[in-house]
Structure 1
Amino acid sequence: MKTLDEFKKFILKGNVIDLSTGVIIGAAFTSIVTAFTKGIVEPLLALAGGGPQPKLTIPIMHKLVEVTEKNEAGQNVTHTVNKLIELDIGSIIGAIISFLITAAIVFFVIVKPMNKLMALADRNKPEEAPSPEPADIKLLTEIRDLLKNK
């Protein structure tokens, strides 16, 4: 029962709610970034690459692969095909660009304004008065000073 109570306390903490809200908003925001990347960034990359879709790959090796297809008579026919294995650098660059766009938007739309609001809230908050010294510390300080003077 103690574990269940501990779990309830963990789930009902504000941090968990904030985090789950952030994940949901982030997932929704992904579609905006994807649309921006596909609608604006990829066409600009295509202009630079000269084709409709820039394919930035690095060939690694050729590999013989067996492929099974149906012929005109409906029978399965197996034959060997020479397949090129390559690294797709273009998709990695696209993912990095997408990440940087997401990070920039989150920073300038959420983090920076939130930091300004927090700074304004801190500036408008009255300063706390220093807490009074406890009586026993004051008394011990006086005793120490008296002993020094003797």
Structure 2
Amino acid sequence: MARRASATGFLRDFQEFILRGNVIELAVAVIVGGAFGKIVDAFVTWLMSVALKPALEAANVDQLKDLPFGLGELAIAIVNFLIVAFVIFLIIRALEKFMRKQEAATPPPDPMLESQERLTAAIDRLTDTMNQP
């Protein structure tokens, strides 16, 4: 009987973990990132073949991936990385700018109001202590 209760607790904990917001957000980010990576891969392959077309013709190679020693794939991977890193940099930079604007728009708390709240809380605690038997 106790074994079933622990399994139910485990399943309940697992369900809470899965339904937590950041796990779902992370899953969505991975899926979108994978799709974005495929778009970037296709773009970089096209860009490299167009940009390096004279060099490829001089090397008697039809596609960049056919270069010896895997140099074409290495070049594609490097350019791919740089594009993804640049896009992430732009996103983070925009997010930081947005956060700075939000912080500037939020007025600092009123010190008098904070003092009154602390005083009220202290009086409530004192009242509770005095009312205890």
Q: Report the TM-score when normalising by structure 1.
A: 0.58
Long gaps (5+) in structure 1: 58-86, 136-150
Q: Hey, what's the Cα distance between the residues in 1 that align with 2:71 and 2:28?
A: 33
Q: Are 1:22 and 2:29 an aligned pair? A: yes
Report what 2:97 is aligned to: 116
Report what 1:53 is aligned to: 63
Q: Are 1:11 and 2:11 an aligned pair? A: no
Q: Are 1:101 and 2:101 an aligned pair? A: no
**Of Structure 1 and Structure 2, which has the larger fraction of its residues in helix?**
2
Query: Deviation at 1:104?
Result: 0.9
Q: Which runs of 4+ in 1 moved over 2 A?
A: 45-57, 128-135
**Of Structure 1 and Structure 2, which has the larger fraction of its residues in strand?**
1
**Percent of pairs with identical residues:** 35
Higher CA-based Rg: 1
Per-residue CA distance 1:63-103 (angstroms, 9 max, x = gap): xxxxxxxxxxxxxxxxxxxxxxxx42321221121111112
Query: Deviation at 1:39?
Result: 1.7
**SS of equivalent residue, structure 1 residue 48:** helix
Q: Which amino acid aligns with 2:19?
A: L
Query: Deviation at 1:124?
Result: 0.6
* RMSD, matched Cα: 2.4
